[in-house]
Structure 1
Amino acid sequence: MTSVTDTPQPRATRMADAPAFPRMVAANGISIHVDQVGQGPDVLLIGGAGDTVESWQLQLDGLAARYRLTAFDNRGAGRTAMPGGAVTVETMADDAAGVLRALGIPSAHVAGFSGGSIIAQELALRHPDMVRSLVLQSTWPVMDPYLRSWGLFVRWLVDVAPSERAFLEGFFLDIYTARAHNDGTVDQFVEEALAFPHKQAPTDLQAFLDAFLDHDTSERLPRIAAPALVLAGGRDSTSRPELCRAVAELIPDARFEVMEEEAHQPFQEVPHEWNARVDAFWREVEARG
């Protein structure tokens, strides 16, 4: 639901002999919308609830000079249809692995935010050889009662909000800082989301949320061997810093950093700072060989 812009990525950063993007790829039994830009070490970007390729626009633009970035629409979001049957985090992690395989990418630095960070955790657990490193923004090992109640609140808000605009304005209260609400940034995000032509059905958003309500990686996170950077927003009222810290403490040697003045999605509000942090982390991982 939080598409930043529908502006196409700059084609100048795409290799001349590379397949055309964006495009659909067959992965894990479904057709998944994928975009790819840039050159360099591979990066896979995984979005959260309702988020599509466009939610990563500021990373696709800002990091393509150093990395080959791949982003995709999760099942039931944007241009990727929701197939029948239950939606699970495990299935969505297999979707992500399928995207990498379909594009011939043996491993990648993986970054996910919110629900996408949980998919990234599961990807590292189910397909460890495909994960070069992990960046987990606004994450958790298992929803505590507060976060679970918030997820259930969003689940019914989409049904009872009097309009799509009202839903977005209410939902975004917990996603972006008061600063972004007061300086007009959130108004811009709302207008762009309303104009986005590939809207998510409420039932698909609810199915996505349901997959996370009781998902628990607490006992399995110590199995992750990939280098990990866990980022929290100091003003995030949902996946609060203590939940993010719990993930960092469970993954061996994970790095934990708090962006004190930011909320749930700092990669959109302060992209230059966020991009610099993850770029420094990826450079360090690459330097280790």
Structure 2
Amino acid sequence: MGEHVEANGTRFWVERRGEGPDVLLVAGLSDPAEAWQAQLDGLSDRYRITAFDNRGAGRTPLPDGPLTVPLMADDAAALMSALGVERAHVAGFSGGSLIAQELALRHPDRVRSLVLVSAWARPDAYFRTMTRFWHWLAEDAPGERAMLEAFLLWVYTPRAHADGTVDRIIDETLAFPHPQSAGAFQRQLEAFAAHETLDRLPGITAPALVLSGECDIAAPPRFGRAVADAIPGADFEMLFGEAHQPFQEAPEKFNARVDAFWREVAGQSPVTDGGP
């Protein structure tokens, strides 16, 4: 069960599982903490996993005033303080990767390592046009299901559309009792689409792993490679056959890779079939 936690002037909904080294999971556009369910379930046997709803998603309100990525990074740092977490392995997905980058730049002592999934640091013309389409789609689609059917074309692999996975996700989203409003979606989108970190990434000192899906059309691998190239010592890896949300579509592969990275950062041996 989750709970609301007061931090940085806002009540954040937080889900926590497990014991061990701290891991903070930062979601992207629109996604509540439940987007990380496979990590909350699959990694909590060896880590203390924290996931939360960003401002304007799920059960966390979106107060009046400007919404920016630096503000959301400060939210994450304040939330860590409220939870008594001094440092954590931080994993950010999509827009959450921007928050994670900014967290590592603004609060470097909080970040033990970075995993940046489906990341970018400077939008190009294609990206800006895509996000403008999403902006009016949220308001002008003929219905919520139609909006999700169109939006998720950028998010999941063709196999997920073919095998019923996307239909199941849409049904779960429509049944979720804390839907995001079109206005909140647009405000989050505006913050993520306008933010750039590329010129500042050399200032990140935390060990970093950048993961890009081969089939990701929203944040294609060239974006992830540019992020990794700019962060000193960062590793870039392509997840072949995957798209924008590999942690949902291929959770076992994703969990194994990030676990190996975190163990490497901690100076531990990787898990084998015979145990740790």
TM interval, shorter chain, is: over 0.9
Cα distance, 1:215 vs structure 2: 1.1
Give the match for residue 85 of structure 2: 105
Give the match for residue 272 of structure 1: 252
**1: CA distance between counterparts of 2:54 and 2:194?**
19
Q: Show the 5 A alignment for 1:17-32.
A: 21-32=1-12
**2: CA distance between counterparts of 1:69 and 1:278?**
13
**2: CA distance between counterparts of 1:276 and 1:197?**
32
**2: CA distance between counterparts of 1:137 and 1:218?**
16
**2: CA distance between counterparts of 1:135 and 1:208?**
21
Q: Deviations over 1:176-200 (max 9, x none)?
A: 0000000111111010001000001
Give the match for residue 114 of structure 1: 94
**2: CA distance between counterparts of 1:277 and 1:208?**
29
Cα distance, 1:149 vs structure 2: 1.1
Cα distance, 1:61 vs structure 2: 0.4
Cα distance, 1:218 vs structure 2: 1.1
Out of 98, 112, 134, the residue aligned to residue 154 of structure 1 is 134
Give the match for residue 31 of structure 2: 51
Give the match for residue 115 of structure 2: 135
Cα distance, 1:238 vs structure 2: 1.2
Cα distance, 1:219 vs structure 2: 1.1
Cα distance, 1:216 vs structure 2: 1.0
Aligned pair 1:186/2:173, yes or no? Answer: no
Q: Show the 5 A alignment for 1:252-267.
A: 252-267=232-247
**2: CA distance between counterparts of 1:238 and 1:23?**
32
Aligned pair 1:126/2:106, yes or no? Answer: yes
Q: Deviations over 1:107-138 (max 9, x none)?
A: 00000100000000000000000000000000
Aligned pair 1:285/2:230, yes or no? Answer: no
Aligned pair 1:89/2:69, yes or no? Answer: yes
Q: Show the 5 A alignment for 1:31-42.
A: 31-42=11-22
Could you list the structure 1 runs, at least 4 aligned residues long, displaced by more than 6 angstroms after superposition: none
SS class of match (1:231): strand
**1: CA distance between counterparts of 2:195 and 2:59?**
25
Cα distance, 1:260 vs structure 2: 1.6
Cα distance, 1:86 vs structure 2: 0.9
With normalisation by structure 1, the TM-score equals 0.92
Aligned pair 1:219/2:199, yes or no? Answer: yes
**2: CA distance between counterparts of 1:47 and 1:152?**
21
Out of 37, 48, 51, the residue aligned to residue 71 of structure 1 is 51
**2: CA distance between counterparts of 1:219 and 1:143?**
13
Give the match for residue 12 of structure 1: none
Let me know the Cα RMSD of the aligned residues. 0.8
Structure 2: state its 5+ residue gaps: 269-276
**2: CA distance between counterparts of 1:258 and 1:182?**
23
Work out the percentage of aligned pairs sharing the same amino acid: 59
Give the match for residue 167 of structure 1: 147
**2: CA distance between counterparts of 1:147 and 1:65?**
38
Structure 1: state its 5+ residue gaps: 1-20
With normalisation by structure 2, the TM-score equals 0.96
Cα distance, 1:213 vs structure 2: 2.0
